[in-house]
Amino acid sequence: MPKRTPLYDTHHALGARFTVFGGWDMPVRYTGIVAEHRAVRARAGLFDLSHMGEIEVRGSRALAVCQELLVTDVARLAVGQAQYSLMCDADGGIVDDVLIYRLGPERYSVCVNAACCEADFAWWDAHNRGRAELIERSAETALVALQGPQAAAILQRLTPLDVSALRRYWSAQAELAGTTGLVARTGYTGEDGFELFVPAEHAVRVWTACLEAGRADGLVPVGLGARDTLRLEAGYLLYGQDMDRHVSPFEAGLSRLVHFESGAFIGRAALARQKERGVTQKLLGLRMQERGIPRPGYRLGRDGRVLGHVTSGTQSPSLGVGIGLGYGPPEVPPGTELWVEIRSRQVRARVVKPPFYRRSRE
């Protein structure tokens, strides 16, 4: 039986269509994926991300534990700052991608993917060896994301926090729609926006307050369908699809996250060897040159030879062409023409460097 977020009944009342994702019954769309996608790009969208997991790490050894389990240098974080990071295994494979927030001098919160939540907590617990206090906060936490060009203006109506002063990848505890939560300027859409961590019992109140505050600005609820097209246009990877334990950060195009200077994190030796030797595959951005949509599992090739496969793909609502991600040889540079095998037909595509879409900074 799929799990349900505190907002399940609210989504039903809004006419959502559901799908099972990561073991959760989640809204995939309300009015339509393309309409919801375009609303986020032009105005604002509201997402229920309460299926995500939260692990709190605290105590005098909390930093040491985080440094060991994540490939980034967590010591760089100031209180209030957030960081995108990866958990790797001893072979350098990606266990999960996470966002870590420094909540206090000896207190961190790690936001993990829904399908990985139980396994991730077990991973942290096994490697913690009693050094820090680990608290599973997932069940008591709801996560609502407000994303789009109008997100800041809408959120400001609900909190005394000076939203304009909150920089990208920073967070603050604040009063919010009659409760208290963590307001973070983070997101997964390629637009400006915020992720709001609030008590699960107040999820409906916060969700409803956001929709009411943004009604005049064209704010709409958005499902997982548009969340996927938005993140793909922005070049963001999806765990379990574009990366997993069989892929390293260097192969997934995430080498910037590997901070060897941070210490002896899990997977460091394997990644150091790979950095020296080079990789045998790498993640490629694909933009179709002919009509066609690259789908996960479709083969990639050139000159009659199969070179790899697609991991994510869609018809981009913003660009009007098929775009995708996939793995191929490391020597294939941007500008190279490949083919994607779609229904036994070799359809032309060009290798490009993601993101496929960049938001206006105006």
Distance of CA 243 to the CA centre of its chain: 12
The angle formed by the CA atoms of residues 225, 231 and 235, to the nearest 5 degrees, is 145
pLDDT at 359: 87
In a structure prediction context, what are the per-residue pLDDT tens digits for the chain, which is 362 residues long? 999 999 999 999 999 999 999 999 999 999 999 999 999 999 999 999 999 999 999 999 999 999 999 999 999 999 999 999 999 999 999 999 999 999 999 999 999 999 999 999 999 999 999 999 999 999 999 999 999 999 999 999 999 999 999 999 999 999 999 999 999 999 999 999 999 999 999 999 999 999 999 999 999 999 999 999 999 999 999 999 999 999 999 999 999 999 999 999 999 999 999 999 999 999 999 999 999 999 999 999 999 999 999 999 999 999 999 999 999 999 999 999 999 999 999 999 999 999 999 987 65
pLDDT at 169: 98
State residue 198 phi and psi, 5-degree precision: -135, 160
CA distances from 93 to 238, 243, 259 (A): 15, 9, 16
Edge-to-edge, what's the strand order for the sheet holding 193-199? 171-176, 179-184, 193-199, 141-147, 45-48, 220-221
Q: What's the token pair of residue 40?
A: 């986020």
State residue 50 phi and psi, 5-degree precision: -70, -5
The letter for the amino acid at 199 is P
Which structural domains are found in the chain, ordered by start?
8-50+139-233 (3.30.1360.120), 53-136 (3.30.70.1400), 280-352 (2.40.30.110)
Max Cα–Cα distance, the chain, nearest Å: 62
pLDDT at 361: 62
Q: How far apart are CA 242 and CA 251, in angstroms?
A: 10
DSSP state of 355: P
Whether the model clears a pTM of 0.85, i.e. scores above it, the answer is yes
Q: How far apart are CA 225 and CA 229, in angstroms?
A: 7
Q: How far apart are CA 284 and CA 290, in angstroms?
A: 18
